[in-house]
Structure 1
Amino acid sequence: MSETSPRLFIVSPHFDDAVFSCGALLAAHPDASVCTVFAAPPEHEMHTEWDQKSGFANAYEAVHERTLEDNRALEVLDAIPLRMPFRDSQYADSPSISRMAAMLEEIIYRSTANTLLMPLGLYHDDHVRVFEACCEILPRLSHLVWFGYEEAIHRRTPGVVQARLADLAQRGIVATPALPSAAHTIDVQRRAQLKREAVNAYASQLRAFGAGNYDDVFATERYWQLSVGRRARK
């Protein structure tokens, strides 16, 4: 791979978000890093509605099995898993945005990535918190190429993408529709096939969403290139 080729680092709030939202892109970028922010089990045994819908007896089992699912999915896409020691909101122990930002910035700094992909933070509280952490980092790492990705399933909520684009403008972040260039030549059909195989590795989450409620993960992926501009006046 040449020095100018994109070396991807994708920030994923939960185990499945990067693959659900960027799986076809990952298929074209072997050795991309996928950093899952909320990858730790709760401190004490817990039972949540989502974990129960996913088929798990408790939170410890859920995090363990979801980690294995993630390993299998990322192996299909030749991606490198990175995990942060934070717990998602269903476990009632969310970290501060500044703490997430500091640790994430350190991980990015230690990587060889030159292209960063962050969630737009659509609808889900955990996604919004990760978005805020990334926005804190972006101006300090503006020498890297940044993209925001529309989170599959959540992007279907009417108006959320438009609201986020307006919010970015208020923050002085310019969002332009764009697609990171492919590092390797791989046809669209093969990318879709690999993504579908990777998505199917998350059997517990597909079970929780229910048949017919996750078709959006197979729709066209959408990205916005982000750059620091001038903050909009109110």
Structure 2
Amino acid sequence: MTLHERLLVISPHLDDAVLSCGLLLAGRPAALVCTVFAGAPSNNMTTDWDQASGFPDAFTAMSARKTEDVHALALLGAHPIHLPFRDAQYHQSPPLDSLAAALAQTVTKVDPVTVVIPLGLFHSDHKLVADACLAMLRGIPAPSVYAYEDVPYRRIPGVVQSRLGELARRGYAATPEENLGAQADARHRQMKQAAIGAYESQLRAFGPDGRAGLVAPERYWQLRDKERTAGMGEWRSNAI
């Protein structure tokens, strides 16, 4: 993947792309990050997570978190796309078809060479977004597709292999991708750390123990859809 090829990272929440792909983004100025669950609930409410983040209610939380996201991505030279869907804590999870349609519109508009999606580990929102991405990519001319291991859930014993096994049963081949252009030099590590620090509210909610699990090497898997390979047009695999 070269510096000039358009990169799109799909992020379930307003910090996931930076936590899981910050080094990749640091090395790819002008990358785009599409956050799916960037919408506030239709009626204001208070949740445990928003309170732990320091917010009195959901409306205040989502407004502040989008501001944090814009700042964090700017530190990496990336640009945000915020979709209006609500995450599970607001009890208004969208149907998979609606997510897939919105993501298809985004991918068609951006026309990326490479799309990086969540592997879909543990959290219901992450699984929903990952499955919507896979459904979406089966319905459009597909770019090169990679999945990132979702931080912090990748630390849960066995969760990555369980998900890879599930994807294999559904017809997806996953091959480890060692670099994907993600640089581990000191400057990019500092950029990623600064971007993580921009999510002040989320770091507050994670607490000291949770924050310790946010710093880990990034890991990616190249995905191939066996059905497309057999007769529907193979996902491109030569973008690196």
Query: Which residue does 1:198 correspond to in 2?
Result: 195
Question: Following the alignment from structure 1 to structure 2, what is the Cα–Cα distance between the partners of residues 187 and 125?
Answer: 30
Gaps of 5+ in 2: 229-240
Query: Which residue does 1:215 correspond to in 2?
Result: 212
Query: Is contact 2:180–2:220 with CA below 8 Å preserved after alignment?
Result: no
Query: Is contact 1:39–1:87 with CA below 8 Å preserved after alignment?
Result: yes
Query: Which residue does 1:140 correspond to in 2?
Result: 139
Query: Is contact 2:104–2:137 with CA below 8 Å preserved after alignment?
Result: no
Question: Following the alignment from structure 2 to structure 1, what is the Cα–Cα distance between the partners of residues 190 and 118?
Answer: 23
Question: Following the alignment from structure 2 to structure 1, what is the Cα–Cα distance between the partners of residues 90 and 158?
Answer: 28
Give TM-score scaled by structure 1 length: 0.92
What letter is aligned with 1:140? G
Query: Which residue does 2:238 correspond to in 1?
Result: none
TM-aligned CA deviation for residue 141 of structure 1: 3.9
Which runs of structure 2 are paired with 1:165-184 in the superposition (5 Å)? 165-179=164-178, 181-182=180-181
Question: Following the alignment from structure 2 to structure 1, what is the Cα–Cα distance between the partners of residues 180 and 151?
Answer: 20
Instruction: State, as a whole percentage, how many aligned pairs show the same letter.
Output: 46
TM-aligned CA deviation for residue 112 of structure 1: 3.1
TM-aligned CA deviation for residue 214 of structure 1: 2.3
Query: Which residue does 2:88 correspond to in 1?
Result: 89
SS of 1:182's partner is coil
Query: Is contact 1:6–1:180 with CA below 8 Å preserved after alignment?
Result: no
What letter is aligned with 2:124? D
Q: 1:227 aligns with which of 215, 224, 228?
A: 224
What letter is aligned with 2:162? A
Question: Following the alignment from structure 1 to structure 2, what is the Cα–Cα distance between the partners of residues 53 and 114?
Answer: 38
Question: Following the alignment from structure 1 to structure 2, what is the Cα–Cα distance between the partners of residues 19 and 85?
Answer: 19
Which runs of structure 2 are paired with 1:102-181 in the superposition (5 Å)? 102-141=101-140, 143-179=142-178, 181=180
SS of 1:213's partner is helix
Query: Which residue does 1:28 correspond to in 2?
Result: 27
Gaps of 5+ in 1: none
Query: Is contact 2:53–2:204 with CA below 8 Å preserved after alignment?
Result: yes
Query: Is contact 1:153–1:214 with CA below 8 Å preserved after alignment?
Result: no
Deviating 4+ runs (over 6 angstroms) = none
Q: Provide the aligned length of Structure 1 versus Structure 2.
A: 228
- For 1:116-152, what per-residue CA distance to the aligned partner results, in whole angstroms no more than 9, with x for missing partners? 0110111111101101101102223464100000011
Give TM-score scaled by structure 2 length: 0.90
What value does the CA root-mean-square deviation take over the aligned residues? 1.9
